[in-house]
Structure 1
Amino acid sequence: MGRYFKKMLRSFDYPLFAVYLVLCLFGLVMIYSSSMVWAVNVYDYEPDHFYKRQLFNLAVAIPAFLFAAFFPFQNYKRKKLMITSVVVMFILLVLVHFLGSGDHVGAQSWIKLPGFGSIQPSEVAKLVIIVYFASVFAKKYEAGTLDYINKSIGPPVSILILAIGLIMMETDIGTSFIIIMGALSVIAASGIKLKSFSKLSGVLFLALIPVAGILYLFRNTIITDGRKGRILSFLNPFDYAQGSGYQIANGYIAIGAGGIKGLGLGNSIQKMGYLPEPQTDVIMAVISEETGIFGTIIVLGGLGFIVLRALYIAMHTKDPQARMLAAGIGSVIGIQTFVNIGGLTGLIPLTGVPLPFISYGGTSMILLSLSLGILMNVSMFVKYQKNK
């Protein structure tokens, strides 16, 4: 065991770790800055309430990152571990429909744990699906059956569709999209032929039709007034600035007010009650307002580095499981960043997806840290294989 740690430490990906820490610490500072007024005026908390909670989240997330970084990724192919992970995921995804709480537009996505905050099962599903798909398709690659679309594809497709169905019924559309695209990214990185990939994508599409039918039957419950408002405000938020477009309109104002230089750390005007829950999925608006182009470069540059690093790692390993894990994790982080920034800037409707490593939230921070730890382990493996 000692030899293993020494071997891996010599291959430690210090740039990846440094960027991870910078993003986490910068996010912590901006959570403190963005949440003070909202914490006092809306929740009657102490000004540093959200800062302290995120500090606790980081105290759990960083050790989780280090654990995953030194836990050999090859173990994820173990049948018992994968079965346990999938079962736990489904238990949480089912429980959230009975014990869950939600937000103002109807998403019921969190299970409250007395004394410990809350857990978001859909965040667990993101990581479990990526790791499970990488394990399954790595075994198919090694068995030489990767391009055979037969009964063996049934279990992963069924698990993905069932998980997406449960998440859509919460209803968390943004996370559902991220998980589907992450799973497809893993399959695309498996080495599967384009013709077979097209067939498999078609199978996934057809399998989603029953889910769409169920959602249609419950459309009056799922398509709430708040969710309709988000779609309408996406088209022209200032026409609904006093209603459903309030958050995104004030986000635009914050970004515009910051300009290139920003108003200075702590000097945001929109966080003074104009921008709802500024420490969550719209935190980038406060970052732009207070730090201008400097803060924007830190966030987007750091996240861009992680995504490109993951794709670089995927392209420089011959191990199929390592390649799929790196591609899947990098894709999920990249897609989630696009969904968050795209919603804030009006490219797509706002979905409430957190900005990776920056937005306030314990489950997101811990699960993303575990994901990045797995990527770190893959990176160290690739570097070690290259240098030995």
Structure 2
Amino acid sequence: MDKQLIRNILKSYDYPLIIAIWMLAIFGLIMVYSSSMISAVTRFGVPSDYFFQKQKMWLIASAFCFFITTLAPYKVLANKKIVQAIFFVSPLVLIAVALVGHTANNATSWFKFGFFSVQPAELVKLGLIIYLAAVFANKQKRMAEPVKGQLFPIYYTLWICFLIAIQPDFGTAMIVLFIASCVILSSGLSFRLLFKQLLFFTMIAAVSAPAVLPFVWHKIFSKERVSRIYGFLDPFKYVDDAGFQLVNSYLAIGLGGLKGLGLGKSIQKYGYLPESHTDFIMAVVAEELGLFGVAFVLLLLAFIVLRGLHIARKCNDAFGSLLAIGISSMIGIQTFINVGGVTGLIPITGVPLPLVSYGGSALILFMTSLGVLVNISMFVKYESKYKHKAKTIDHSKKQSKRGLIF
């Protein structure tokens, strides 16, 4: 390969975005150790660095995925065979996990392989973004036409959400639906067509509700989910039960104040926050590093999301643009839901904080997705800067030749 071409490609990488991603990932690894060191010994009976070591191994695996997706041209993902594989494999994997998966926290959402486990629904998120981006990019010329085939990706999305919901994992199903909605609404699909379809689904739901609800009521409104709602509405009234985590999250945030108690000095992680290294890791960040620590995390996440949307706006390729929107919205939506649950803004749903919370499946998903985003950014910058320059040089050469001829 031409050395100048390699230099131009390297210059085109979005280094501020890469730095932000890795700052968060390394910060998350430090906070996983700090937030889990007590519960690892007292609650799980393992060494204090158990979760840190596991997260470190996942981060190394994620670094490999990030490196590959950063280098590999993102347009390869739009290949027909890859899109077809995603289309068929995603529902099959979700059906398989519902039938033979490992159950944890009252949900059969995991494949367990010896000492580690994988949550397929996390990986399906990226697959669905790729599928929707590829399909709608191919339909760009016919978006304004009321073609029924254009609605098939919406039906497919609902099918994926249904398969995740029956695990049951309503939180992840709703997140997948929100992410898909961002891609669909950005695709140029007729709003009139979408409104008609929404009205159609609403009518079907209203008619079928009396027949269906008796069979699914206990699943949707299980004792655990109802208690979560009570705990959200009045956590101090149910402080010994459903409101326990949220009240202690408030205490952690309040104790942290502006500057925090200091790294490793959290009090609430001593059994008061059972999910201190996963869903409620932001509460430990607030307690140990204060408002400054919280601002550091949120500003980096906001930078990644806004940078991704900027990349989507600049990208001339429909597939790349929709892919960037899907990945950015995934980071933004999950951040809002996690922080919203920790602060009592919305009910707790058990969603990890991107790049910071403990969890291998989620970390691999985010790092792989962000590697794709970095690659899209590189292509956008390279095409706008170097290809334009090459065309200008070529045009000037032609002009000089014409001058010599005439």
Q: TM-score normalized by structure 2?
A: 0.89
Summarize the alignment of residues 238-277 of structure 1 with structure 2, pairs less than 5 Å apart: 238-277=236-275
Please name the residue that 1:17 is paired with: 18
Please name the residue that 1:346 is paired with: 344
Which runs of 5 or more residues in structure 2 are unaligned?
A: 388-406
SS at match of 2:128: helix
2:65 alignment partner AA = A
Contact 1:169 1:215 in 2 (8 A): no
Summarize the alignment of residues 205-354 of structure 1 with structure 2, pairs less than 5 Å apart: 217-354=215-352
Contact 1:187 1:197 in 2 (8 A): no
Which runs of 5 or more residues in structure 1 are unaligned?
A: none
Please name the residue that 2:185 is paired with: 188
Identity %: 42
SS at match of 1:238: coil
Contact 1:326 1:378 in 2 (8 A): yes
Contact 1:112 1:119 in 2 (8 A): yes
SS at match of 2:31: helix
Please name the residue that 2:391 is paired with: none
Please name the residue that 1:168 is paired with: 165
The structure with more radius of gyration: 2
TM-superposition CA deviations, 1:253-284 (whole Å, max 9, x none)? 11111111100001000001111121001100
Alignment RMSD, CA only?
2.1
Summarize the alignment of residues 66-145 of structure 1 with structure 2, pairs less than 5 Å apart: 66-104=67-105, 106-115=106-115, 117-141=116-140, 144-145=141-142
SS at match of 1:221: helix
- CA shift, 1:231, in A, is 0.7
1:279 alignment partner AA = H
1:173, 1:42 → 2: CA distance? 27
2:120 alignment partner AA = P
- CA shift, 1:111, in A, is 1.5
2:129 alignment partner AA = I
Please name the residue that 2:390 is paired with: none
The number of aligned residues is 384
CA shift in 2, pair 1:269/1:189, >3 Å: same
1:30 alignment partner AA = M
1:174 alignment partner AA = G
Contact 2:285 2:293 in 1 (8 A): yes
Summarize the alignment of residues 36-51 of structure 1 with structure 2, pairs less than 5 Å apart: 36-51=37-52
Contact 1:247 1:276 in 2 (8 A): yes
SS at match of 1:322: helix
1:151, 1:193 → 2: CA distance? 12
1:89, 1:39 → 2: CA distance? 34
